């Protein structure tokens, strides 16, 4: 792992790293914000998973999260949204399949299965790497994300009981097996068997009995993707049936952009910090 950039911010350091990934069989780039406290002690970590088309640069530039991380003494780990490179399968004319659209699954279908192993990367390889090298408390992690990354955060927490102290999401894709974005990626990465898709669908995981944990979700009512892609009502119905505590806040008038995320990221990070400091 080599550090390729380091920028001082809020008394801490916003670093970018590159490493050869065993899961994805290619070089991967990610960013970490280390708060000022990390200079003298190990700190807990919040993982941020980004949405379609993003790299690690979007949230670190647009969300205003580093200010809160510095105040709360938590590190932010920001992975990329897919494997990348000339040798990595892609659909260059599509923003919602291939590079930038890994959907946080382990692909099983060629040509995607060679590199698109984002689920293993996010839940296993990246935490092990970070906890071995950076000043963070091993195993003390929470996870959150936006849109496709909100979906990612929910499935990682639901599929890995005990791995994350808390989980939240901004405008997540709650039920990817029934929305266009999810169908497009899941059919390519996972094939035609819809049972394989359900293993990466938060609503289906809950219906199927995944161990519950509290879920915090903010969703803008002015979000242009709410009706066609996100399906929070289906997730809510599944949570109610299972008795899983879901806090779904419909935020009046907010859209799908980072301006929405910026508005509520402070509350999410405070929520995670409370769980991480327990």
Region binding a second copy by CB under 8 A among candidate stretches 44-52, 138-146, 192-200, 257-265: 257-265
Region binding a second copy by CB under 8 A among candidate stretches 35-43, 157-165, 202-210, 247-255: 247-255
Least Å distance between CB 267 and a second copy? 12
Q: Which of residues 58-77 bind a second copy (CB under 8 A)?
A: 61-62, 64, 66-67
CB-wise, 7 or 128, nearer to a second copy?
7
CB-wise, 259 or 277, nearer to a second copy?
259
Least Å distance between CB 248 and a second copy? 18
d(CA 244, CA 241): 8
Binding characters for a second copy, 217-246, by CB under 8 A (x = yes): ---x-x------------------------
Catalytic residues: 147, 223, 256
- Cis bond upstream, residue 111 (ω within 30): yes
Helix, strand, coil share (%) of the chain residues, nearest 5: 40, 25, 35
Non-local CB neighbours of 8 within 8 Å, separated by 6+ positions: 14
Least Å distance between CB 148 and a second copy? 20
d(CA 46, CA 169): 12
Other Cβ atoms within 10 Å of 198 Cβ, number:
17
Cβ–Cβ < 8 Å for 78, 59: yes
d(CA 43, CA 12): 12
Residues near a second copy (CB under 8 A) are 7-11, 14, 61-62, 64, 66-67, 220, 222, 253-255, 257-260, 262-263, 266
């Amino acid at each position: 792992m080599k550090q390729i950039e380091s920028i001082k911010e809020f008394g801490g350091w916003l670093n970018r790293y590159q490493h050869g990934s065993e899961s994805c069989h290619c070089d991967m780039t990610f960013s970490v914000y280390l708060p000022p406290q990390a200079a003298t002690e190990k700190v807990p970590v919040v993982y941020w998973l980004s949405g379609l088309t993003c790299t690690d640069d979007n949230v670190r530039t647009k969300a205003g999260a580093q200010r809160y991380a510095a105040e709360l003494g938590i590190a932010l780990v920001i992975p990329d949204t897919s494997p990348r490179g000339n040798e990595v399968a892609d659909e260059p004319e599509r923003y919602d399949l291939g590079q930038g659209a890994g959907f946080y699954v382990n692909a099983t279908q060629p040509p995607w299965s060679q590199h698109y192993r984002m689920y293993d990367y996010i839940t296993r390889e990246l935490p092990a790497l970070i906890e071995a090298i950076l000043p963070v408390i091993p195993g003390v992690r929470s996870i959150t994300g936006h849109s496709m990354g909100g979906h990612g955060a929910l499935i990682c927490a639901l599929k890995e009981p005990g791995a994350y102290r808390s989980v939240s999401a901004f405008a997540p894709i709650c039920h990817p097996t029934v929305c266009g974005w999810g169908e497009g990626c899941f059919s390519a990465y996972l094939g035609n068997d819809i049972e394989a898709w359900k293993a990466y669908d938060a609503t289906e995981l809950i219906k199927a009995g995944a161990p519950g944990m509290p879920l915090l979700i903010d969703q803008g009512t002015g979000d242009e993707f709410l009706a066609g892609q996100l399906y929070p009502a289906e997730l809510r119905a599944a949570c109610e049936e299972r008795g899983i505590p879901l806090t779904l806040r419909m935020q009046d008038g907010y859209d799908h952009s980072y301006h929405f995320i910026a508005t509520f990221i402070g509350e999410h990070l405070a929520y995670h910090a409370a769980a991480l400091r327990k």
